[in-house]
A = this chain, B = another copy of it.
Amino acid sequence: MPDSTSETSPSAPAAPARRSDSTRAAILDAARERFAADGYERATIRAIARDAKIDPSMVMRYFGSKDGLFAAAVAVDIRLPDLSALPRHEVGHTLVAHFLDHWEENEVLTALLRVGAGSQAGAERMQGVFRDQVLPAARRVCPDPEQAATRAALIAAQLLGLSLTRYVLRFPPAVALTRQEIVAWLGPTVQRYLTAPHP
């Protein structure tokens, strides 16, 4: 099992650029695209290598296995904005807007969601992101740890549900929504899940 924690940011600052870095980046780009479009099983190493215009055996050389390639391709860090610095009533809008920005920035999140939903192993990877990155952020905003978990789960359900219908399932009315409409509709919902008293 590959160590996904060793991969952090896509643009590692240290180490002088080796000649193989561009090849490596091309493989990761192609892999993200294929995993996002086809899911884990149907995204074959052969097809990814063809997209990246290299030999399939090179993928194995760089990443060891298909699992290792996937782990490297979907290594994400959800950079959440500092919510405590905002006026209380702007938190919902800000969170939704930030979420949309990062989702449309690249295909990592779509790939992660598609694979995460498609298999048990993928689901555990998404559980890890939620546990290690989303929950701690929620605890920073909400003091009661039990309530923080519930509220984070509700917000995740709403935001991931939008991503699911818009970017994965591609329901036409969900795709047609503008960024402004999404913020206007979902902002108050997220705001309520985060700040309203427990019913």
Q: Which of A159-199 contact B (CB under 8 A)?
A: 159-162, 164-166, 168-174, 176-177, 181, 184-186, 188-189, 192-193, 199
Query: Are B153 and A38 touching (Cβ within 8 A)?
Result: no
Is A116 an interface residue, CB under 8 A from the partner? yes
A120 part of interface (Cβ distance < 8 Å): yes
CB contacts (< 8 Å) of A174 on chain B: these are 153, 156-157
- Determine the chain B residues whose CB is within 8 A of the CB of A160 once the complex forms: 161, 164-165, 169
Contacts of A37 in B (CB 8 A): 120
Q: Does A126 lie at the interface of the complex (its beta carbon under 8 Å from any beta carbon of B)?
A: yes
Q: Are A157 and B164 in contact (CB under 8 A)?
A: yes
Whether A39 and B118, one on each chain, are in contact in the complex, defined by CB atoms closer than 8 angstroms, is: yes
Which bucket holds chain A's interface residue count?
A: 35 or more
Within 8 A of B (CB), among A106-125: 113-120, 123
Q: What number of copies of this chain does the assembly contain?
A: 2
Task: State A199–B96 Cα separation when bound (angstroms).
Answer: 16
Say yes or no for A101: interface residue by CB 8 A criterion. Answer: no
* CB proximity of A192 to chain B, nearest CB, Å: 7
What B residues does A166 contact at CB under 8 A?
Answer: 157
Assess the A169–B199 pair: CB atoms within 8 A: no
A153 touches B169 (CB 8 A): no
* Interface positions of A from 97 to 152, Cβ below 8 Å from B: 113-120, 123, 126-127, 130-131, 149-150, 152
Can you list 24 A-B contacts (CB < 8 A)?
Answer: A38-B119, A38-B120, A39-B39, A40-B118, A42-B119, A114-B117, A114-B118, A117-B118, A117-B164, A117-B168, A126-B169, A126-B171, A127-B169, A127-B170, A149-B173, A153-B171, A154-B186, A156-B171, A156-B174, A158-B189, A161-B164, A185-B193, A188-B192, A189-B192
